[in-house]
Structure 1
C-alpha cells in the first residue's frame, strides 16, 4: 500500500533514524528499510542532526522514490538522543523502531523484533543484541567493560546497551525521562517505568562510508556521569502500579 494515500492514523510502525554526517550511508539505508517493511503500515523518519555534509541532500534525493520517507532537520547539532526524541515526537506509529544511521544495523531484523513486541503486551521494548560485531578490537573491548559495569550497577540485564536497533511502544518511550545520551539506558529506563524488556540477537555490518562520531574516551567520560544520574533516577522512583480513572456510581442516579 502506498504511504502517500494512507491516512496517518492507520500507521502501525514509525522507523526513526538519527543521522549526523552520514552521506553515503543514509540513502541506501532508507531504501533498505522500505524494502523489509513492504506490505506493512509504516513511515520512515530520518532526523538530520545539523549535518555539515550532504546528508540532507542525499535524503531529499530519494524522497520521490520513497513516499513513506520523512526528513526532519535540526538547526543545531543536539546529539543522538535528542534526534531520536525529535523523531518520536513527530511519529504517527504505535510502534517506534530505531536504527543507527551509519548502516551497521541491519534492517532485516526489524520485522521479527516488531512481531516479538506485538506478541507480548507486557513488553515496552525489544532491544537488539549484536552478534559478531564488525568494529575494532578496541571498541569491542571498551564496550564489554562498559556493559559489565552498567549491568552491575543498574541490574538491567542488557548485554549490549550500545545497539541502536530497537522496537518499542511509542507510549512507553514517551513516558521515559529525557536527557542527553539516554539512548544508552533504554532497558533500565523502561524497567523503571514498569515495562518488560526483551533482548534478541541481531546482525551487525561494517561501516561503508564516513566514520564513527564517538571515541572510547568520550564514551567513558559521558558514561560515568550518566551512570550516576540513571542510578539516582532509579533510586528515586516510586511506582504506583495501575492508575485507573474513577467514574461516578450511576446506580443511584
Structure 2
C-alpha cells in the first residue's frame, strides 16, 4: 500500500456485485504509474457486493473498502470516501461502469495545470448511453439548473470528477451535493475546468435511481443551492492591529 498517495479514487456503490471486478481492473490499469489508492464505499448493498469487494482486495493493498450498514445515498457514500481519503486530490466515478476510468489521468492533469485556484475538474459526457426518458430528464434538469445557478457546466451529473480534497471539505454537505459541485466550488472562490469524457453502457445490473425521485428531489435541492449561493458573503481578510511603534498590540516590548 502506498503510505502517501497523491490521488484517492472514490467509488460509491450499491448492489453492483457484477461490476466490482471489471471496474477495479480498469481503474488499476488507468492509474498505473500514479501514487494512488482506491476506496470503494458500499452504501448498504443487499446483494453480493461485500463479497465481491473482499475478493477484489486480494493482492491489492491499495484497495480499501468501506461499508454503510444502511443506505445513505450517493452523496453520503462519496463523503465517507473523501473523509477516509489520504490523497490531497480525489477522483470520483460511478460504480456501474458507465464512467470510463481511463479519463481520470486527463482530468487530474487538467486540474493541476489550472493551478491552485482551480478546485474541480468536471467530466462532461459525450455520446450518452442512457435511455430516452433519462436523457430527457437530464436535458431538462441541466437546462433549468444552468439558468438558475449560472454554473457554466453542461453536465453536472457526470460522476467523473477530480477535485482538491480541501476544497470539497469546505462545501456545505447535503444529500445530492455531488450533482451541484461546480456551483458550490465556484461559491467558495475556486474555478472549475471541464473536459469531455465518453459515456458507456452500464456493465451489468440496473440503475438504483428512479426518474421521479431524481426529478422532485432535484428541484428541492436546486432551490436550496440557489439560496446558499445568494447568502454567500465574501470572507473578510483581517489585518492585525499594531501600536504606534509598529509592534502587534498584544506583544510585550522589553525595557
Same fold (TM over 0.5): yes
Q: Which residue of 1 aligns with 2:35?
A: 41
- Choose which of 128, 133, 139 in structure 1 pairs with 2:134: 139
SS in 1 for 2:27: helix
- Choose which of 178, 181, 197 in structure 2 pairs with 1:183: 178
Alignment: residue pair count: 247
- Choose which of 62, 75, 80 in structure 1 pairs with 2:74: 80
1:96 is the counterpart of 2:52: no
Residue-by-residue CA offset, 1:51-106 (whole Å, 9 max, x unaligned): 00001110110111322100000111100000000000000001000000101000
SS in 1 for 2:18: coil
Which consecutive unaligned segments of at least 5 residues does structure 1 have?
A: none
> Structure 2: how far apart are the matches of 1:147 and 1:42?
32
> Structure 2: how far apart are the matches of 1:34 and 1:177?
31
Could you tell me how far 1:198 is from its partner in structure 2? 1.0
Alignment TM-score, normalising by the size of structure 2: 0.92
- 8 Å contact from structure 1 (residues 14, 95) kept in 2: yes
Alpha-carbon distance change, 157 to 75 in structure 1, aligned in 2, over 3 angstroms: same
> Structure 1: how far apart are the matches of 2:19 and 2:179?
22
1:213 is the counterpart of 2:208: yes
Which consecutive unaligned segments of at least 5 residues does structure 2 have?
A: none
Structure 1 residue runs of 4 or more that deviate by more than 2 Å after TM superposition: 241-250
SS in 2 for 1:71: strand
Q: Which residue of 2 aligns with 1:16?
A: 10
Greater Rg over alpha carbons, structure: 2
> Structure 1: how far apart are the matches of 2:172 and 2:136?
29
- 8 Å contact from structure 2 (residues 20, 56) kept in 1: no
> Structure 2: how far apart are the matches of 1:245 and 1:118?
33
